[in-house]
Structure 1
Amino acid sequence: MAYLTQPDYVKYICSCGQLKPITSLYFCRHCLKIRCGFCICHEVDSHYCANCLENMPSSEARLKKNRCSSCFDCPSCFHTLSTRATLAQPRQAAQDAAAGGDTKVENKQPKKMYYLSCFNCRWTSRDVGIPDQPVASGGWPERTNPFTTRMNQLLDYYKAIAQQEKQEKLERERKKFAIRGKYITLTDKTGLTGAMARNIAGLPSSDGGSSSAIANFVASQASEDVDELPEDIYTKEVNLKQITSMAQRLASPEWQPATVSRLHPLAKLLSVKRSQRCRACDHNLTKPEYNPGSIKFKIELLAYYHVPEVKVISFETIKPGEKSALLIKLTNPTGHEMQVRLLQPEDLPQPEEREEPKSIEKSLEKSLNLEKEPLPETVPDKPSGVRVPASSRVCPPSMTLSLPQRDDAAEYDDDAHHDTDDVILWRKSNKIALRLEVVTESTVASGVPANALLALEYSYRNTVPPPPTAGGTLAGTTPAPRDHTLYTTVLLDLGVVSG
């Protein structure tokens, strides 16, 4: 979701310091913060095939190795293969019964057969000798990997090692955090671990399978015997049309075909529907419908629907030491009236507690961590450690702007109310156009990006019911919505500074 006619001239500063367009941000209605893709947790809801829209649970998708059993991709150009039907003519068995010319002919009806074909590169399953199938879906022959046994041994070995390391880590944690005084279980009182208690009682060990897998594993041995190259490898003419490319070989890592005649259809990879949660409060930001054919969302907390949108209409050429005109448009996407005030970034109220200065690289490294780490409770809208380049300065007006609620029917109304104010250019439904001034210092060199920071103070009505209190809520009463004053900072891209 992005603008088709306008690049990202306006970028918002996320609570972690990232610069993102409003179409790539989320808004958490519980902690009232703007979140980007690095501030949320991703969870897989369901697996489905994008071609046949077959939905399957995670356990079944794991057994099928995340591939569909009835849809295939072309091994040559990687487009989706289509099933085509043909009529197979039966063989006519004619035998002469006698020398006098008696002939016995067996007539049969043509039988419909199916094969796979690619409409992009014209590759068919007949090119590699795959026989036609009597059914349209399923029944296609599957090749067995000759190294399946060895791969299973390696998987069992590494699983056993991971289980053993996990048990050792648990033992170290038990010794480190010894319980004194009160004992929860008998093993805590006597100092016996679960494995020692099972050995004393004569029971089999819980990790017996892991120990046997490690003990029975046979490591691979390097061999000096290497197959010799053919004698005509340097003299034989190479036909590039019969040799597979690197992408075609890596698409089938089990076999890695070297020639085009050994290409086989590739089972189509499954797609996933994912939900996203806020790292700070653990509430859902997006949650799609379970049906793979539906594009709707049960929960869709995008910043595009909750945060006022800033869009650049036009601007004059930015020159050092001069003032330039800037026309922007503010839009209220919510269903309630919004009060907006433009400020300088340094005029934003500072939170009581700030984080230590951090860079974008550190925030990325922390966000990409596999373990789920909650964000701190107070995260500034503009972290002090993130240096945002700004060569120009916007002069905001000292007035408070009132934006009406969003009205879908008013989108088709072309009449806009033009104002005589020096700041307000026109009003239309939930949109307002402003005329601002941009001041550039005389020390700015020509050719550098002309960027300007602008802070927004806006009112937001939260319709999420508050958490239950000790006194409870009266039956039949609806909790009143709560109004909040929120802040955000945007970066305007105004081209380059001209000399």
Structure 2
Amino acid sequence: MAYLTQPDYVKYKCSCGQLKPITSLYFCRHCLKIRCGFCICHEVDSHYCAYCLENMPSSEARLKKNRCSSCFDCPSCFHTLSTRATLAQPRQDPAAGAGGDGKVGDGKQAKRVYYLSCFNCRWTARDVGIPDQPVASGGWPERTSPHATRVNQLLDYYKAVLQQEKQEKIEKERKKFAVRGKYITLTDKTGLTGAMARSIAGLPPAEGSSLALAGFTPAVASEEVDELPEDAFTKEVNLNQITSMPQRLAAPEWQPTQVSRLHPIAKLLSVKRSQRCRACDHNLTKPEYNPGSIKFKIELLAYYHVPEVKIISCEMVRPGGKSTLLLKLANPTPHEMTLKLLQPSEVPIEEEKEKVDKDTSLEKSLDKSLKIEKQEPSWNPREPPTVLTQITPPGVTLTLAPRDDAAEYDDDARHEPSHIILWRKSNKLALRLELSTALSAAEGAPARAALALQYSYRNTVPQPGAPPDRDHALRATLLLDLGTVGAAGL
């Protein structure tokens, strides 16, 4: 597409204030708002293997530890392993000898066996002593983690602790409604469980508690450390026989130190996810269930609903001077669209307060987890980005024709005798705008201009119980990157 050839010179303001290119935004046709990646929730629809396209439910994927049982990655270079076939000659009985017709022993024929091989680094399963298998798919030996017993004990312990805390919470709620007029204890106000209170006080766990039920033995630190071998500093090191850090971390259960102990790594499963709007909880994207399909059942991307703005050319921006900016506008919808250019100050700070309710603990924890990632360019209504260049919008209403896929192959552009509109072609038009730069702009500073669009949108899927009017007047705020401010007087 054409927008892939142009960097993100034009960024749109999301409803939360983030500045993103139009290809990274979504449009909720129920809220009629632009949403970015921080304004949506992600849900896992299905798990599948990207190599063999095997689809499996979430419960089965959890049992298989989110790994495919028939596809493997190379432990040396991490490319996908392929299955190769070969003929295995049967063992010959020395007492039987060869017959007069040249057949072996009892007349046995060679059997076809299979092994794993990497076409990239030439690593094979035979290098580490994995026996060949009689079938091509499945049946490969699985290694058991040496810490499997301890991990299972930890899982059983925490399950018992969780079950007991749930039971204590239920009993506490029951007592709260059963007993009236009594003083609220510290544990009632802070939510401190009985097991936690006994642990803080240094008392042994109560009989029948999770610690006793799980039969869990806590780990004890030992002061004794195994000594290094005598030849640790004198033995010559062969780097070809020692694994690298990525190879060790790819198998955290074993972390092999020798190349001869590398084993195939089961391929991780991929997921198909759907995305929902945080405000109204409606789907924004929902893929097909079939893992071999790349189509979507629902795909509410902003690129298909919000008018696209691209920069054709811009003259050198100089302090205190005026220049010309050429923009191209496109209507992505199958309906006629009316468009008007405004100053960002003319857009009311409306529904900016229509933020998602973040009083719940889930939203608070999510906001904390995204705190670092959200340190990106944003548009704060109280402190907007520094804009050194002012765009003079024309006081006219523009009309954009609906999108027509057949007209994309028409190369004829219609030129109009206007000082504003340069040409029209299908659902696109080119505009000539005037720029004025502040006199205080320093040479080399980023030249940025802000612009607001007021466009008409026809909602083809209105909400139940909504008014019958399907046409809406929406607004979008843009920030244009025009390069840097040049020297004055040139």
TM-score by length of 1: 0.83
- Structure 2 Cα separation of the partners of residues 179 and 411 of structure 1: 75
Letter aligned with residue 72 of structure 2: F
What is the CA-CA distance between 1:113 and the residue it aligns to? 1.1
Match of 1:267 in 2: 266
Q: Note the alpha carbon deviations across 1:454-492, whole angstroms, 9 max, x for none.
A: 1000000011134238xxxxxxxxx95610000010111
- Structure 1 Cα separation of the partners of residues 346 and 327 of structure 2: 21
Match of 1:163 in 2: 163
Match of 1:276 in 2: 275
For the Cα contact (< 8 Å) 1:47–1:273, is it kept in 2? yes
- Structure 1 Cα separation of the partners of residues 338 and 178 of structure 2: 57
What is the CA-CA distance between 1:418 and the residue it aligns to? 1.2
Task: Describe the SS at the equivalent of 2:37.
Answer: coil
- Structure 1 Cα separation of the partners of residues 4 and 341 of structure 2: 27
Letter aligned with residue 460 of structure 2: T
Give the alignment of 1:78-227 within 5 angstroms. 78-95=78-95, 105-170=105-170, 210=210, 212-214=212-214, 216-227=215-226
User: Are residues 1:497 and 2:485 paired?
Assistant: yes
For the Cα contact (< 8 Å) 1:424–1:432, is it kept in 2? yes
Task: Describe the SS at the equivalent of 1:273.
Answer: strand
What is the CA-CA distance between 1:258 and the residue it aligns to? 0.5
- Structure 1 Cα separation of the partners of residues 172 and 438 of structure 2: 61
User: Are residues 1:285 and 2:273 paired?
Assistant: no
Q: Note the alpha carbon deviations across 1:38-66, whole angstroms, 9 max, x for none.
A: 10111111100000000000000000000
For the Cα contact (< 8 Å) 1:10–1:311, is it kept in 2? yes
Unaligned runs of 5+ in 1: 98-102, 181-206, 357-363, 372-380, 470-478
What is the CA-CA distance between 1:323 and the residue it aligns to? 1.2
What is the CA-CA distance between 1:390 and the residue it aligns to? 2.1
For the Cα contact (< 8 Å) 1:38–1:367, is it kept in 2? no
What is the CA-CA distance between 1:129 and the residue it aligns to? 0.9
Question: Quick one: structure 1 residues 84 and 3, their matched pair in 2 at CA, closer, same or farther if it must change by over 3 Å?
Answer: farther
- Structure 1 Cα separation of the partners of residues 319 and 173 of structure 2: 63
| Aligned-pair Cα RMSD in Å | 2.8
What is the CA-CA distance between 1:496 and the residue it aligns to? 1.3
User: Are residues 1:229 and 2:228 paired?
Assistant: yes
Letter aligned with residue 472 of structure 2: H
What is the CA-CA distance between 1:226 and the residue it aligns to? 1.7
Question: Quick one: structure 1 residues 241 and 134, their matched pair in 2 at CA, closer, same or farther if it must change by over 3 Å?
Answer: same
Give the alignment of 1:396-435 within 5 angstroms. 396-435=393-432
For the Cα contact (< 8 Å) 1:459–1:484, is it kept in 2? yes
Match of 1:472 in 2: none
Question: Quick one: structure 1 residues 55 and 317, their matched pair in 2 at CA, closer, same or farther if it must change by over 3 Å?
Answer: same
Match of 1:390 in 2: 387
Letter aligned with residue 452 of structure 1: A
Q: Note the alpha carbon deviations across 1:62-83, whole angstroms, 9 max, x for none.
A: 0000000000011111111111
- Structure 1 Cα separation of the partners of residues 176 and 390 of structure 2: 57
Match of 1:53 in 2: 53
For the Cα contact (< 8 Å) 2:456–2:472, is it kept in 1? yes
For the Cα contact (< 8 Å) 1:17–1:386, is it kept in 2? no
Match of 1:312 in 2: 311
Q: Note the alpha carbon deviations across 1:86-140, whole angstroms, 9 max, x for none.
A: 112233334378xxxxx98444322111111111111111111111111110000
Q: Note the alpha carbon deviations across 1:364-395, whole angstroms, 9 max, x for none.
A: 97754689xxxxxxxxx964245323221111
- Structure 1 Cα separation of the partners of residues 246 and 257 of structure 2: 11
- Structure 2 Cα separation of the partners of residues 385 and 69 of structure 1: 55
Match of 1:449 in 2: 446
Unaligned runs of 5+ in 2: 98-102, 181-206, 356-362, 371-377
User: Are residues 1:76 and 2:73 paired?
Assistant: no
- Structure 1 Cα separation of the partners of residues 331 and 208 of structure 2: 64
Corresponding residue pairs, total: 443
What is the CA-CA distance between 1:179 and the residue it aligns to? 10
Question: Quick one: structure 1 residues 389 and 167, their matched pair in 2 at CA, closer, same or farther if it must change by over 3 Å?
Answer: farther
For the Cα contact (< 8 Å) 2:164–2:209, is it kept in 1? no
- Structure 2 Cα separation of the partners of residues 8 and 285 of structure 1: 23
Task: Describe the SS at the equivalent of 2:71.
Answer: strand
User: Are residues 1:484 and 2:475 paired?
Assistant: no
Match of 2:189 in 1: none
- Structure 2 Cα separation of the partners of residues 55 and 104 of structure 1: 45
Match of 1:201 in 2: none
Letter aligned with residue 489 of structure 1: T
What is the CA-CA distance between 1:321 and the residue it aligns to? 1.1
For the Cα contact (< 8 Å) 2:27–2:284, is it kept in 1? yes
Question: Quick one: structure 1 residues 252 and 418, their matched pair in 2 at CA, closer, same or farther if it must change by over 3 Å?
Answer: same
Question: Quick one: structure 1 residues 238 and 365, their matched pair in 2 at CA, closer, same or farther if it must change by over 3 Å?
Answer: farther
- Range 275-284 or range 388-397, more displaced: 388-397
